[in-house]
Each structure stands twice: as C-alpha cells, then as structure tokens.
C-alpha cells in the first residue's frame, strides 16, 4: 500500500484541523493539498489515491475532515464513505465530483449516507488548477465545517430576541418558503415529509444553495419521495397549491403578480446576493411584497447569513418566520443569523419544524 503523507502528529504539537485529500489524480491531490496548506488553517495529514487506501489510513492519521472524490479506481467514494464513517464516527466527509447529472445523483445519495457536504469541481485538471472559484469554495467549506466541529456537543437552541411589534397573521398562509444551504437537502426532506397531506394545501418555494444540475436532481428526488409535483419552474409560471418549486441553480427565484393579480414565479440572472445565486433573500423579499402577512417562511441549516434581510422584510410585513435551532443544524449560520437578529417567530429543533408549520397551515397555531 502506498500512502502519501506528512509525519503523524506528536502529542506536543498544538491541535489543528486535520484534513485527508482523496483523489485518483496525483496532480489534483498535490494542488488541493497545497491550497489547503497555504490557507494557514489546516494540516493535510495524508493524501490517498483511492477509497481503499483512504480507509486504511484513517486510523493512523486521524483526519477530522476528508475530501473524498467520487470517481476512483479499485474503491470509489460511494463505497468508501460508509467505511470511513465506521472507522471514525464523527468524521466529516465532503464529497467532491465533477458537475454531471450522474454525479449530482451520487452526491445527494452520499448526503443521505452521512456525508456533510459536497463540492463541485471543474471537469479537467487544467480547469481545476485555473479555477479561483473552486479554490475559494474549497477553503470556505473547510472553514465552515471546522466552525461546526468545535460547537459544544450539547448545544441548546439560542432563543430569538423579541420580535418587533408587527401585525399578526391576518389569514392562513398562502405560501410556504424554505431557505437552506449546507445540510439543507436532508433537513428539507425531513420537514416536507413531516407535513404529510397538508403540504398540498399551498405552493411551496425552496431556495437551496446548489449548483446547476444538482437542483434538478434534487427536485426529482423530492418528487419521488413525496409523490407530488416538484419542479424547477419556468419564468412567469403561476403558483399552484400542491406544487413545490425548487430554485434552479445559477438563477434567482422570486415572485411577482400578473395583471389579474395571480402570483407568478420570477426568474432572473442578476448578480449574486450574499455571494449566492439563487439567494434566499431574493425570494423572501419578493414574498413580503406579494404575499405580505400570508407568507410562511423557514430558514434551515446553512452557512452565511443569506435570508436575514429577506426575513426582516417578511417580519415587517407581518409574516411568520421560523428558524432551525443550533443543536440540530449542520451549520448554524443562516438560521442563527435570523434568530440573533430577532426575526424568528420560533427557533425550533428540526423534528419540531414540520409539526409547527402544519399548525400554522391548518390554523391551529398563530
């Protein structure tokens, strides 16, 4: 067995986040390892050319985070993932793949198997080496998961500040809005599955930070899971109860009203908001204008603060905004920002969000 490595950590060394890079390309392994080291925040403790070598290296090198390529000889990333998680429970695995429909499907499968995140990489080695975006996204994701790793083990929900004095909901919700990023696919599945038949009473609009291709595959996955229409909408498509609209990767999804006052989906290619496109803020701000107090929104796990300004507009319009709590979030960035700004009607654990939304939709909560 051949393993490329740095020396194992000695007890006298200060603890740092330990990363293992797994990719069948020696060029990409070296390039990614250099980028990670140059960031100054991590130790690349070893690299591996396939999943089998990676699994055998875990016990010796004790990485905290593994960057796991999907397509490798001998043992690919899908086969290696459960073995890595078994070797070191609590290890964070970020799957890395080129942007194809097949890899998007496999990446989402890996999330359901226990991977914490995914990273889309350019198709060729030359494109990888020249891509500033890929390098930035790689380091940003590593830093995000370091922050979540050091969170107290028994974190409790951080209560929201008192909401501003705003008008209560005047009617039952006319739409459900969901914003999420890191850890979002599994959280969204959980919330929507818990709503049951109530989900068909109103249109649902989802902004999940994902690249193109991934959002289409995610929509197909939700449709199979829920047994109802889930789609990436077209511009100008009317909102229909019982339909779930997933914002397409690379485009903002907002709302408008037709001349006859029918709510419509609005898509555009305007610049990123909060470094994101699609952005939760875009959807929430439009919903505050189009639906006012009849909007119902939830901000789930995700890094950054996307959704906070939109939540402010919703709260000022009298709408209800819920946020996922810290203890059950993969990353308490987006929901934490909303909660800390005092814009959340409730800050709830993931398993309580579905029942709470159901109560608002049916009118048993206000």
pLDDT (tens place) for every residue of the chain, 366 residues total: 444 444 444 444 547 899 999 999 999 999 999 999 999 989 999 999 999 999 999 999 999 999 999 999 999 999 999 999 999 999 999 999 887 888 999 999 999 999 999 998 887 777 776 678 889 989 999 998 887 654 443 334 444 444 443 344 447 899 999 999 999 999 999 999 999 999 999 999 999 999 888 999 999 999 999 999 999 999 999 999 999 999 999 999 999 999 999 999 999 999 999 999 999 999 999 999 999 999 999 999 999 999 999 999 999 999 999 999 999 999 999 999 999 999 999 999 999 999 999 999 998 764
Residue 84: inside a domain? yes
Residue 336 lies in a domain: yes
Tokens of 326: 């810290």
Q: Are residues 68 and 192 in the same domain?
A: no
| Rounded CA separation 86/186 (Å) | 20
| CB contact at 8 A, 317 and 325 | no
203 & 348 share domain: yes
Half-sphere exposure of 248 (CA within 13 A, CB side): 13
Question: What tokens appear for 184 in the block?
Answer: 């979002």
- Give the per-residue pLDDT at 133: 83
How many domains does the structure of the chain reveal?
Answer: 2
Distance CA 259, CA 256 (A): 10
Would 87 be classed as within a structural domain?
yes
3-state secondary structure at position 332: strand
Same-domain status, 194 and 324:
yes
Return the ∠ at Cα 303 (arms to 299 and 309), rounded to 5°: 50
Residue 166 lies in a domain: no
With respect to residue 211, please indicate whether it lies within any of the assigned structural domains.
yes
Q: Is the dihedral of CA 63, 67, 73, 79 positive or negative?
A: positive
Other CB atoms within 10 A of residue 267 CB: 17
Half-sphere exposure for 106 (CA within 13 Å, toward CB): 22
Percent of the chain residues past pLDDT 70, beyond the cut: 88
Assess if residue 167 is contained within a domain: no
Structure tokens at 212: 């193109």
Contact (CB, 8 A) for 87 and 61: no
For 121, the 3-state DSSP assignment is: strand
- pLDDT score, position 309: 98
**Rounded CA gap, 338 and 294, in Å?**
19
- Check whether residue 336 and residue 212 sit in a common domain: yes
36 and 121 both lie in a single domain: yes
Residues 30 and 133 reside in one and the same domain? yes
**Among the three residues 114, 149, 184, which one is the final residue of a domain in this structure?**
149
Tokens of 208: 């999940």
Tell whether 8 and 93 lie within a shared domain: yes
CATH code of 63's domain? 3.40.50.2300
If asked whether residues 230 and 306 sit together in one domain, one would say: yes
230 and 335 share a domain? Answer: yes
Residues taking part in catalysis: 181, 209, 306
Distance CA 330, CA 300 (A): 9
Same domain, residue pair 301 and 191? yes
Question: Tokens 């050091």 appear where?
Answer: 150
215-243 burial by CB neighbour count: b if 16+ within 10 A, else e? bbbbbbbbeeebeeebbbbeeeeebeeeb
- Indicate if 131 and 203 belong to the same structural domain: no
Residue 39: give the domain boundaries: 4-149
Concatenated DSSP letters for 286-354? HHHHHTGGGEEEEE-SBSS-TTHHHHHHHHHTT-EEEEE-TTT-SSBSHHHHHHHTT--SEEE-HHHHH
Asked if the structure places residue 93 within a domain, the reply is yes
Q: Is the pTM of this model over 0.95?
A: no
- What CATH code is carried by the domain that includes residue 344? 3.40.50.180
Cα dihedral 122, 128, 131, 136 in deg (nearest 10): 90
Assess if residue 51 is contained within a domain.
yes
| H or E element that contains 251 | none
Residues 180 and 81 in one domain: no
């Amino acid at each position: 067995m051949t393993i490329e490595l740095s020396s194992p950590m000695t007890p006298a060394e200060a603890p740092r986040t330990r990363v293992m890079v797994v990719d069948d390309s020696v060029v990409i392994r070296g390039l990614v390892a250099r980028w990670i080291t140059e960031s100054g925040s991590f130790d690349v403790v070893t690299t591996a050319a396939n999943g089998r070598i990676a699994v055998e290296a875990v016990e010796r090198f004790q990485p905290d985070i593994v960057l796991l390529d999907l397509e490798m000889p001998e043992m690919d990333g899908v086969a290696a993932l459960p073995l890595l998680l078994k070797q070191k429970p609590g290890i964070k695995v970020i799957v890395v793949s080129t942007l194809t429909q097949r890899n998007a499907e496999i990446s989402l499968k890996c999330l359901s198997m226990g991977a914490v995140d995914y990273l889309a990489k350019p198709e060729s080695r030359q494109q990888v080496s020249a891509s500033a975006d890929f390098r930035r996204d790689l380091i940003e994701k590593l830093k995000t998961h370091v922050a979540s790793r050091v969170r107290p083990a028994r974190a409790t929900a951080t209560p929201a500040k008192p909401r501003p004095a705003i008008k209560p909901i005047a009617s039952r919700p006319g739409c459900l809005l969901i914003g999420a990023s890191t850890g979002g696919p599994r959280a969204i599945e959980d919330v929507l599955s818990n709503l049951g038949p109530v989900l068909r009473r109103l249109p649902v609009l989802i902004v999940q930070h994902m690249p193109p291709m991934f959002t289409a595959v995610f929509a197909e996955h939700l449709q199979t899971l829920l047994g109802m229409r889930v789609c990436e909408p077209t511009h100008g498509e009317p909102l229909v109860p019982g339909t779930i609209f997933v914002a397409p990767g690379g485009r903002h999804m907002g709302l408008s009203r037709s001349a006859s006052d029918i709510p419509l989906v609005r898509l555009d290619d305007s610049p990123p908001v909060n470094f994101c496109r699609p952005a939760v803020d875009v959807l929430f701000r439009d919903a505050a204008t189009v639906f006012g107090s009849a909007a119902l929104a939830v901000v789930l796990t995700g890094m950054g603060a996307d959704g906070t300004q939109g939540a402010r507009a919703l709260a000022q319009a009298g709408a209800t905004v819920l946020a996922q709590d810290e203890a059950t979030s993969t990353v308490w960035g987006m929901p934490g920002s909303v909660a800390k700004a005092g814009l959340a009607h409730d800050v709830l654990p993931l398993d309580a969000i579905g029942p709470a939304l159901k109560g608002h939709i049916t009118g048993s909560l206000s």
